[in-house]
Amino acid sequence: MELSESVQRGFQTLADPGSFDSNAFALLLRAAFQSLLDAQADEAVLDHPDLKHIDPVVLKCCHAAAATYILEAGKHRADKSTLSTYLEDCKFDRERIELFCTEYQNNKNSLESLLESIGKSLPHITDVSWRLEYQIKTNQLHKMYRPAYLVTLNVENTDSQSYPEISFSCNMEQLQDLVGKLKDASKSLERATQL
């Protein structure tokens, strides 16, 4: 993991009991995780009364450093020893290292979910609806008397946050073909997971 100087400086300040007492440290740590993971996080996450005595610029620097480090650690799937080593290098005492690792462990799953969801991918199918109809006539053709399906795929676009739909019609044979191919895909998937 490559971390910038500003992260290191921020952490060195965080490690210093003169700048951040135990309570302030814990609050800042929690604030960092909250602003990353809580979708409804308040912009005033650093507005706690017990943090008021610290210079706002310093507060922001340290908050940014912590958040950056948390993201990098999450991205690289850092384990406890990696975290400890880095924090030791930044002169954190045992107690603070333990607190950091515990908070990190508690939030690890949410962090990894968040990171996994970032990035471009193809439009993703989320659901399907179908309608069965019996066609009787059109103005061009009478006496049709055949079943037809209307299938709609609900699709999600990760980047544009749009939800287009793809609709198409098919007759019974075509739907059987579609279902057959989907079943092939899922059987293949099952076999692959058993390897």
Partner 1 sequence: MLLDLSEEHREHLAFLPQVDSAGKLNVSSDTVQHGVEGLTYLLTESSKLMISELDFQDSVFVLGFSEELNKLLLQLYLDNRKEIRTILNELAPDLPTYHSLEWRLDVQLASRSLRQQIKPTVTFKLHLNHNGEHNTKVLQTDPATLLHLVQQLEQALEEMKTNHCRRVVRNIK
Residues in the site for partner 1, rule: CB under 8 A? Answer: 74-77, 112, 115-116, 118-119, 121-128, 130, 132, 134, 136, 138, 140-145, 147, 149-151, 153, 155, 166-170, 172, 174-179, 181-186, 188-189, 192-193
Task: Tell me whether residue 26 or residue 178 sits nearer to partner 1 (CB atom).
Answer: 178
Q: Which is nearer to partner 1, 53 or 142 (CB)?
A: 142
Compute how many other C-beta atoms are within 10 angstroms of the C-beta atom of residue 175: 17
**What's the min distance (Å) between Cβ of 42 and partner 1?**
24
Pick 52 or 181: Cβ nearer partner 1: 181
Supply the minimum distance, in Å, between the C-beta of residue 66 and partner 1. Answer: 18
What gap in Å lies between CA 91 and CA 77, rounded to an integer? 22
Half-sphere exposure of 104 (CA within 13 A, CB side): 24
For partner 1, the closer CB: 130 or 163: 130
Write out the DSSP string of 43-101: TTTT--GGGTTS-HHHHHHHHHHHHHHHHHHHHTT--HHHHHHHHHHTT--HHHHHHHH
Q: How far is the CB of 59 from partner 1 (least distance, A)?
A: 27
* Own/partner long-range contacts of 145-152 (Cβ < 8 Å, ≥24 apart): 146/171, 147/171, 147/172, 149/175, 151/175, 151/178, 152/128
Of 55 and 190, which has the nearer Cβ to partner 1? 190
Q: How many CA atoms lie within 13 A of 103 on its CB side?
A: 23
| Least distance CB 87 / partner 1 (angstroms) | 21
Shortest distance in whole angstroms from residue 145 CB to partner 1: 7
